[in-house]
Structure 1
Amino acid sequence: MNLRRMPLMDAASLQLEGRNMPMHVAALMTFEYPSSCTPTKRKRFISELIARWRQEPRVFYPWNQVLTRPTRWQLTPATREVYDLDLEYHLRHWSLPAPGDERELGQMIAWIHEQPMDLQQPLWECHFIDGLAGNRFALYVKIHHALVDGISGTRLVVQGLAAGPDALSTPLWARELPAEALQSAKAEWPTLGDLKAAAGAFVKLRRRSDQLTTFKSTPETILNGPLTAHRRVATQHIAMDRIKTLAKASGSTVNDVAMAMVGGALRDYLSQADALPEASLTAALPVSTRKSGDHSIGNQVSIMLGSLGTNVADPVERLEYIKAFTRAGKSLVQDLPKNAVLPYSLMTSGPFLAAVVMGRAGDSRPAFNTVLSNVPGEREARYLDGAKLLHVYPVSLIMPGVPLNFTCTSHGDFLNFGIVACRARVPRVQRLAVGLTTAFEALEKAVL
């Protein structure tokens, strides 16, 4: 039996698992049926694909990993390899009710996403969904955060699809990863100087500042508080060319524009509820700590804090406000010695995660109001048995005190947003999805 000890960050994702906080992440992919598919063939397309996939006996890492002890209550979790998958459990088929638009899709994904994973099984599931309007179907793949982070998980799923329309797809679990994906970069122990630098940066985040977004910057809102077990999910996409044109014209990055879109959407959403705080809402911005060329599977993430400019009415001024605070946050992290990043990450997230484990998160002032993550994507076309991949929407997780998450990734010609929220705390989440487009168009009109 080949045992694999979980690294510290991966183990933390398992230990945080809770009844109201399942710790899995997912990708929702929408496809266009092949042009050769008649309406009659479409009804059989997914059924035949699933039947073929269920005949595949091969399984590779990380799809073949199962916990040696099926519980989160362990200090040093480990996994072992299995080679006999129950594919009726892992691979499922659903149909949307009419009319099969984004609202019905979001409702189904919310229900699937809120279901905890069975810790006695390999920690992944694939769900095919037909009945989607516009000659489309969907594939939702969820994997436990103890195995992947957003970057490695998205890469794992999307790159598992075919590069051309003529090839039959290989089931995701039957694709053997290259050797470099199985080996993390060798960690170096931090020196005393590294620890001092990390502690100094952490102390800055615990103080008030007019130039830097800190934990003291975060206002209380009607959105923040304890979680329930149920979720809402919504999606949105914007043409990447429009975003890049806007970013270039305003001297911004794509991430700056994404933050301005989220800030504008949240400002309108809270204004409609007559609950907009005077201070700007803040966001935790996950930042990859992977070194160049590191394509390994697993968690390698730090966070920085950013202001979303919800206190600024003018869209151009909001973007400039965001850029100023984001630059300060980046400088704080980028100025750290390379071996100080991990201890800084542990110091930054440690108090919040400890409060989650002890059940106290959500009962006091929030550390940040939301999470906004930008996962790198790719422009190359991908196919599933000739069906073209249209969009990839990340479906992330939420935590007590921070029951709203925006994650975006690019694919092809679009930047795709997945919004996940606690059903009880964030009603009408579809308004936020529409608000992203409204905020972008207002900024685009003002700048261009």
Structure 2
Amino acid sequence: MLGVGAPHFREVDTWDSHYHVQHLALPSGSSYDDLLRLVADLHEPMLDRHRPLFRCWVIDGVPGNRFAIYTKTHHSIIDGVSGLKKLYEGLSTSTERTIPTPAFALPTPEPPPAPPHPGLHRLLDTIHSAVVQVGTVNQISLSAARKAVSAALGSHVEGSLPFVAPHAPTNAPAQQARGFATLSVPLAEMHRIARQHHATLNDVAAAIIDHGLHAYLRQAGQAYAHELVAMCPVSLRDDSDSAVGTRVSALFVRLGRPEATMTDRLREVVHSVASAKDELGAMSTNAAMTFAVALVALAGAGASTHLDRVGHPACNLVISNIPGNTEPHYLNGAPLIGIFPVSALAASIGLNVTLSSYCDTMNFGFVTNTAAISDVQALAEFTGKAYAELTAESARA
């Protein structure tokens, strides 16, 4: 549990299964859009900090004789990579009618054995961690300040670019209401386009989201005349790391020019991502984690004090890719049709697009602050059109 005041965890002896795992049913004749609206409504309220920080809903009545499972877990408990891994572990790769242990009940890894002198080691580790973090925060602050000043003077700065982006419509003050939409594109075709342009799947995703967002803003009469800056979380876990907690850093990537073609936009994104990766790659793992924590804390402080309304926001949107799974999964014989991330919004960053592959598709989940993006379904459709445009341009190349 996350206590009030200074955050800390507490173990609990019991938990209320009726509160944490619930059953809902859509009315007869409901559509897929009705499911998305229900998920958006469930996503709005904060988790109760005095209870274990997760909730799960099984939702019946989804069109096509299907059902959905929506799970909400606090980011301090687990990050997206390890969270999705747990979700897959709570499913089966067999069509047999079996119900595996659900993700929220799976055991956590055993902690490493205590060192011979735990008190001394803890003290030395604390001192070392404090020295590293202070040095890293100073380095981050100086670097961010230099970039912010350079950007204000009109220079074209490179690398990871927190607090450099001008305000965009996506940075409207946060409200409680949420919007949610989905998009799926063929994974094999996405791979082909990425190889053709010497890009990654993340680059392709960022480019089409960027293109779709600019098109949406123009259609809504809110055209944005600058290059958007996206925060792109980066997992610091290896394949064997499933420890509780969050182990991520972040890139702050300049996206394409507002008027760029899809192909040119992808080329610009590839260049920006490579520059930001070089900068992050020069940091140690601890420094990279401190970098992300410090920037998120600064963004949160700016939002809570409203300083972000007069200064630059941390970024304009968040784009995240959580590695998925190519093997079909089942729950008590029912096949998993798709898995769509429903991510959190923070500070005054009113758009989070998280994607994850499953079998032969790449699935996008768009989460919005409705004060910033009022029609999230239209944004998803513009992103789909951007993908079709990139596919057509790539075929002609």
TM-score (norm 2): 0.86
Distance in 1 between residues matched to 2:69 and 2:92, nearest whole Å: 14
Task: Tell me how far 1:257 sits from its aligned partner.
Answer: 0.5
Pick closer, same or farther for the CA change 1:95–1:292 going to 2, 3 Å.
closer
CA contact (8 A) 1:97 1:131 kept: yes
Task: Tell me how far 1:118 sits from its aligned partner.
Answer: 2.4
CA contact (8 A) 2:161 2:254 kept: no
Distance in 2 between residues matched to 1:408 and 1:336, nearest whole Å: 26
Pick closer, same or farther for the CA change 1:359–1:276 going to 2, 3 Å.
closer
Pick closer, same or farther for the CA change 1:433–1:310 going to 2, 3 Å.
farther
Pick closer, same or farther for the CA change 1:175–1:380 going to 2, 3 Å.
farther
- Report the 3-state secondary structure (helix = DSSP H, G, I; strand = E; otherwise coil) of the residue aligned with 1:77: coil
Task: Tell me how far 1:137 sits from its aligned partner.
Answer: 1.4
- Report the 3-state secondary structure (helix = DSSP H, G, I; strand = E; otherwise coil) of the residue aligned with 2:372: coil
Please give the residue correspondences for 1:342-421 in structure 2 after superposition, counting only pairs within 5 Å: 342-358=289-305, 360-362=307-309, 364-421=311-368
Paired residues, number: 376
- Report the 3-state secondary structure (helix = DSSP H, G, I; strand = E; otherwise coil) of the residue aligned with 2:217: helix
Task: Tell me how far 1:252 sits from its aligned partner.
Answer: 0.7
What one-letter code is carried by the residue in structure 2 that aligns with 1:78?
A: F
Distance in 1 between residues matched to 2:38 and 2:245, nearest whole Å: 28
Task: Tell me how far 1:297 sits from its aligned partner.
Answer: 2.2
Task: Tell me how far 1:198 sits from its aligned partner.
Answer: 6.5
Residue in 2 that maps onto 1:441? 388
* Counterpart pick for 1:205 among 120, 135, 144: 144
The yes-or-no answer on 1:215 pairing with 2:162 is yes
What one-letter code is carried by the residue in structure 2 that aligns with 1:125?
A: R
- Report the 3-state secondary structure (helix = DSSP H, G, I; strand = E; otherwise coil) of the residue aligned with 2:218: helix
The yes-or-no answer on 1:304 pairing with 2:231 is no
Residue in 1 that maps onto 2:51? 121
Distance in 1 between residues matched to 2:36 and 2:246, nearest whole Å: 27
The yes-or-no answer on 1:86 pairing with 2:16 is yes
Please give the residue correspondences for 1:284-303 in structure 2 after superposition, counting only pairs within 5 Å: 284-291=231-238, 293-303=240-250
Distance in 1 between residues matched to 2:176 and 2:388, nearest whole Å: 34
Q: Percent identity?
A: 28
Distance in 2 between residues matched to 1:211 and 1:431, nearest whole Å: 32
Pick closer, same or farther for the CA change 1:293–1:224 going to 2, 3 Å.
same
* Counterpart pick for 1:272 among 219, 222, 235: 219
Pick closer, same or farther for the CA change 1:122–1:286 going to 2, 3 Å.
same
The answer to which structure has the higher helix fraction is 2
Q: Structure 2: any 5+ residue segments left out of the alignment?
A: 114-121
Task: Tell me how far 1:432 sits from its aligned partner.
Answer: 1.1
Please give the residue correspondences for 1:169-248 in structure 2 after superposition, counting only pairs within 5 Å: 169-172=99-102, 175-177=105-107, 179=109, 189=128, 199-200=138-139, 202-206=141-145, 207=147, 208=151, 209-215=156-162, 217-248=164-195
Please give the residue correspondences for 1:157-176 in structure 2 after superposition, counting only pairs within 5 Å: 157-172=87-102, 175-176=105-106
Q: Structure 1: any 5+ residue segments left out of the alignment?
A: 1-65
CA RMSD of aligned residues (A): 2.6
TM-score (norm 1): 0.77
Residue in 1 that maps onto 2:118? none
